[in-house]
Structure 1
Amino acid sequence: MKKDNLDHLFERLQGEFDVAEPENGHQERFLEKLNRQQGTIALGKKKTSWWKPLSIAASIVLVAMLGYQAFGPEPSIKRQVTKIAPEVSQTEFYFASLIEAQVEELKEEKTPETAQLVDDTLAQLAKLDKDYRTLEQDLVDGGDIKIILSAMITNFQTRIDLLKEVLSQIENIKNLKSQHDESFTI
């Protein structure tokens, strides 16, 4: 009997049923209204979580930093030498400034008569500088610190002595030339 009533009800309401699809976001709006009335949190609504993207970004940064440290450029020889023996940088600054001043003076004294002497001296200074770089590398590679530091200082002293000697020879050449020019008559 109940089945007849239900059939009769559906026959009578035929064509009046709402069969259209609800609009997008209908379920979210419905749950939001329901939760506002009941004061609960919506179950169907997803919370935006920043932890996952943030942790991925942090992991990428960490891996990049470790890779840079492991495979990145090594510190320069100068920095490594300064780390091993800090007094080297002070000594090198002092000697380098003295040598640079004398090299400038040497270059100013270059004339046709002294050109060969000046060029040879500059070539010798370049060799001594190359030797100094080798000593720095030896120091970084773990050689005997006292012996290498002594050799580095000797290298600087050799350069200074060479420059003093050459400047003295240039002065002698200039004196000889002026004496020769004075004794020469037309």
Structure 2
Amino acid sequence: MEKDYRDEFLKNITGSFDFEEPDNGHEQRFLAKLNKAQGTASISQKKTFWWKPLSIAASIVLAFGIFYGINNTEPSVDERVAKISPEVSNAQFHFASLIQEQVKALEAESSPETQKIVADTMDQLKSLEMDYNKLEGELLKGGNSKLILSAMITNFQTRIDLLNDVLNQIETIKNLKNYNDENFTI
């Protein structure tokens, strides 16, 4: 009997199902009515899609920036000097490595007695480096290349001579200190 009741109920409701979808915004209207009936405030959940166009524009700008950066690299000063005179580039590498070694030796010899002379030498080296950079600029502007190249080599030699003289002075100071310490008696 129970089975008959179910079968009859299913026969009666066949064809009366609603297959249509609700209108757009149905969920928001339903929630608004529900919140109003319960006396609660609703927070509107507007979906904004402003971030999509913004992210596309940012991607385009980033891609353009990377492309421009890769294709528009200007050669460095050293590369341009090497194009003008490859010999200077080789000499610069040789002298720079020699100067760097002597600067390390100078810094290793720094002590309270030699601190002033080391600081003065470093200042003079910075000044000579600035002069060398000016000479590079003159060479790139198209000045008398033989004269400028000679001045650049002289600048390197001056730096090396300065470092050698200072290292010799430091050695003399250390020897005098040791000599004075040996002759001093208590």
State the alpha-carbon separation in 1 of the partners of residues 117 and 147 from structure 2.
Answer: 32
Could you list the runs of 4 or more consecutive aligned residues of structure 1 that deviate by over 6 angstroms after TM superposition? Answer: none
Please give the residue correspondences for 1:1-186 in structure 2 after superposition, counting only pairs within 5 Å: 72-186=72-186
C-alpha displacement of 1:150 = 0.1
State the alpha-carbon separation in 2 of the partners of residues 127 and 72 from structure 1.
Answer: 32
Question: Quick check: which has more Rg, 1 or 2?
Answer: 1
What are the Cα deviations for residues 16-62 of structure 1, in whole angstroms up to 9, with x where unaligned?
xxxxxxxxxxxxxxxxxxxxxxxxxxxxxxxxxxxxxxxxxxxxxxx
Let me know the Cα RMSD of the aligned residues.
Answer: 1.9
* TM-score, normalization by structure 1: 0.61
Unaligned runs of 5+ in 1: 1-63
What are the Cα deviations for residues 49-81 of structure 1, in whole angstroms up to 9, with x where unaligned?
xxxxxxxxxxxxxxx8xx959x94532111111
C-alpha displacement of 1:89 = 1.0
One-letter code of the match for 1:128? L
Q: Secondary structure at the match of 1:185?
A: coil
Query: What is residue 53 of structure 1 aligned with on the other side?
Result: none
Q: Secondary structure at the match of 1:75?
A: coil
State the alpha-carbon separation in 2 of the partners of residues 136 and 72 from structure 1.
Answer: 22
One-letter code of the match for 1:76? S
What are the Cα deviations for residues 113-144 of structure 1, in whole angstroms up to 9, with x where unaligned?
00000011011111111111111111011111
How many residues align? The count is 120
* TM-score, normalization by structure 2: 0.61
